[in-house]
Amino acid sequence: MFYAYYKAIEPALQLSDRPIVLWLEGGPGCSGLIGNLYEIGPWRVAQDLRLHKNSAPWNRVFGLLFLDNPIGSGFSVAPTDQHIPSNQEEIAKDLYSALQAFYDLNPLFKLRPFFATGESYAGKYVPSLAYYMIQQVEKGGSLRIDGAAIGNGLTHPVVQVQSHARVAYAMGLIDSEQKLYLESLQQEAVMLTTQQKWDDARIARSNALNWLQNTAGLANLFDIMRIVPYYSLDNSTDFLSLFVSQLVVKEALNAHPTATWVSCSKAMGVRMGEDIMKSTKWLVESLLLKIPVLLCQGQFDLIDGVVSSQDWMRTLEWNGLADCWRAERKMWRVENLQAGYVRSHSNLTHVVVARAGHLVPADQNLYSRVMIESWVAKSLAPSAMQQ
């Protein structure tokens, strides 16, 4: 599995005490280099195909680890398509093995706090890995897990797929008749999921999302404000792929020079097809009994956005849920600007990031860094987030 690691730029404490944060990209099958070179790493690729300093990288006070996950994504090599994982248990085992290998290279890192984070389809990867790590700790394993954070995650699809028509109608993207039709498409996905016809359910969900995007005339559902997709030129050319595919870049990353890099693997999407509509909500419920969990969404995401996430969060079987929803949702500010909203109780924290879409750190890098640093420091509250 391909990885990249960045040490902390400004460690306030001894480096040995600095947390290590793992970032997992979504997809399924999208490369961790998206998060690395477009969102939270110290350098960002721009449309000019050059590297520019990220003004708010996540490795300011953390060690920051990226993995191309699952095997077959990005520069992680799968000998054959049959080696590509097809379910969350296989993915968690592979990630754990990769972390063991990483720590073997740096044994002292095992002493440092560790947080698993990611976005989108990592709404499944993160709880799967964290749950597996807790299981290993209980069996005497040496790798610690201190928290799990998910941005704009797909975690409980059967509930989340039912939100799109309601949200799109409220935004004025579809009319009442179109809302009814989209609801029928969504219910087909729900019915097939209930029947455990996993591949048919995946197709039904895709049909609903594609219909919505085409009917609303959106560039994509990840951010309703964008006129072109993320990391794309005005003609929709993927400039991140152009950059990473250069031989000099592959050499700098220690990737295999003949490897073909694509931002998101189609083979992975096929291999993971039956996993897409399966839920990992039960894993989050288990995590909440053990470790802090952060769930955040960008305000303008229409695919795995605020309402989508709140809907499934309200179905959590967790003894702190009622008190969590009774807790006041408060506005928080960063540098005297309104940055979003935060609600927190016990081990669950929920944040809405203002003026951001599906890739929150790409849209609001400072807000996302303040959020993750405050949460790791256990000081994520409206007053604490004013910096």
- Whole-number Å distance between alpha carbons of 351 and 329: 9
- Which pLDDT score is estimated for 79? 84
256 is a catalytic site residue: no
- Whether 208 is in a domain gets the answer no
- Which pLDDT score is estimated for 172? 96
Tell me which of 94, 301, 304, 363 is the catalytic residue.
Answer: 301
- Whether 92 is in a domain gets the answer yes
Candidates 329, 331, 229, 279; CA nearest to 87 is: 279
Tell me which of 31, 73, 120, 241 is the catalytic residue.
Answer: 120
Q: Letter for the amino acid at 286?
A: S
**Domain range for 255:** 3-155+234-376
368 is a catalytic site residue: no
C-alpha atoms less than 13 angstroms from C-alpha of 161 in its C-beta half-sphere = 30
- Whether 383 is in a domain gets the answer no
- Whole-number Å distance between alpha carbons of 183 and 165: 6
In CATH, what number is assigned to the domain containing residue 262? Answer: 3.40.50.1820
Candidates 199, 201, 203, 161; CA nearest to 183 is: 161
Q: Which residue has the tokens 């990209």?
A: 25
CA angle 52, 353, 278 (to 5 degrees): 100
| 3-state DSSP assignment of residue 119 | strand
Candidates 371, 339, 333, 373; CA nearest to 354 is: 339
- Whether 347 is in a domain gets the answer yes
Number of domains into which the chain is organized? 1
- Whole-number Å distance between alpha carbons of 324 and 348: 8
Q: What is the mean pLDDT of each run of 10 residues along the chain (387 residues)?
A: 92 76 95 96 95 96 95 88 89 96 93 96 97 95 95 97 97 97 98 97 97 94 93 90 94 90 86 94 97 97 96 96 93 91 95 96 96 89 47
- Whether 292 is in a domain gets the answer yes
358 is a catalytic site residue: yes
- Whether 251 is in a domain gets the answer yes
- Whether 167 is in a domain gets the answer no
Query: Any idea of the CA torsion for 213, 230, 65, 102, to the nearest 10 degrees?
Result: 70
- Whether 104 is in a domain gets the answer yes
Query: What's the predicted TM-score (pTM) here?
Result: 0.94
